[in-house]
Amino acid sequence: MIDPVLDLIQKRNLSYNISGRDYLIKCLNPEHPDSNPSLRIDKVTGSFHCFACHFKGNIFKYFGVFTNQTPIKVAKLKEKMAVIKSSGTGLDLPKGAQPYTKSFRGISSKTLRGFEAFYTNSEEKLVDRLCFPIKDITGKTVVYVARHVLSDGNPRYVNYPSGVVMPLFPASAPRSVKSVVLVEGIFDMLNLHDKGLNNAICCFGTNTLHKDTKQKLLPFRAQGVTHIFIMFDGDEAGKKAAETLKPLIEEDGFVVEIISLPDGTDPGELGEEDVRSIAEYVRK
């Protein structure tokens, strides 16, 4: 097993203790006489931090060791994968779930099937609802979004279970796509996919903190997405949210463009022709 951090500690004859995810050694700061070891070194990355004097750094840099960072990155990734593996595939289907085979409010049954929609009428909170499994970046189902089948059903949406941090949906982009179109609602996203725009993703409203959305978009960058088109609802809240989010995402190196919709229009209402022209525009 490759362990460059421990290798270096041993080569330098530093005495160490293991403390959770860290190695604990006496502080490396010459100005800090450290009788109790108070410097923590991350086992994987070699980053260190003294909790007494706040001396910070990385032991590879500190000792002038030029390492190939790849094994460290791979080790880190493997560690993450192990956590993911041990956490399984996510939620079980609610009881009484059955496949939804019809179209719904202009969204074809094919598109709904593609997003694994199902109908449930049995659990108390899920009476007469069309549900979608929402998966995180690892493919694990973390929550179901359940929309009342009746347009005046109250509440219109239920997150089941409640209180889960919502991923973007879908949480990753189709292969080799260079841009994504970010919309507010799940039915905005579904409508765009249904009409041929397969790189639309939704952020479940603009009430979630923008810095969360920023964070959730980063993996798209790693997948090769360079452009983000923000297409929020054509109302004051949507416009304001788009303006706030744009500079935040730009900090991560994305090219960001806002697509403004006419007042009172949201992407869930766009017809085939409108979606086609948007698709042509974002693929230019």
> Nearest distance from residue 38's CB to Zn ion, in Å?
6
Six-digit token string for 6: 């421990």
Nearer CB in complex with Zn ion: 52/218: 52
> Which one among 5, 25, 27, 241 touches Zn ion, defined by CB under 5 A?
27
d(CA 215, CA 251): 11
Close Cβ partners of 281 (under 8 Å, ≥ 6 residues apart): 259
Nearer CB in complex with Zn ion: 27/203: 27
Nearer CB in complex with Zn ion: 12/125: 12
Task: Select from 25-33, 70-78, 179-187, 245-253 the region that touches Zn ion (CB under 5 A).
Answer: 25-33
> Nearest distance from residue 21's CB to Zn ion, in Å?
19
Nearer CB in complex with Zn ion: 55/118: 55
Largest separation between any pair of C-alpha atoms in the chain: 73
Residue in the structure block whose two tokens are 């421990």? 6
Nearer CB in complex with Zn ion: 15/162: 15
Task: Select from 1-9, 21-29, 142-150, 223-231 the region that touches Zn ion (CB under 5 A).
Answer: 21-29
Close Cβ partners of 254 (under 8 Å, ≥ 6 residues apart): 217, 221, 225, 226, 227, 228
Residue type at position 83: V
How many residues belong to the site for Zn ion (CB under 5 A)? 7
Nearer CB in complex with Zn ion: 49/148: 49
d(CA 127, CA 81): 36
- Show contacts with Zn ion in window 39-78 (CB under 5 A): 50, 52-53, 55
> Nearest distance from residue 231's CB to Zn ion, in Å?
50
d(CA 226, CA 257): 11
In 3D, which of 170, 165, 160, 107 has the Cα closest to residue 138?
Answer: 170
> Nearest distance from residue 56's CB to Zn ion, in Å?
10
> Which one among 3, 24, 29, 257 touches Zn ion, defined by CB under 5 A?
29
- Show contacts with Zn ion in window 112-141 (CB under 5 A): none
Asked if residue 28 binds Zn ion (CB under 5 A), the reply is: no
Asked if residue 32 binds Zn ion (CB under 5 A), the reply is: yes
In 3D, which of 78, 94, 80 has the Cα closest to residue 137?
Answer: 80
Query: Cβ distance 60 to 67 under 8 Å?
Result: yes
Query: Cβ distance 275 to 196 under 8 Å?
Result: yes
- The footprint of Zn ion (CB under 5 A) covers 27, 29, 32, 50, 52-53, 55
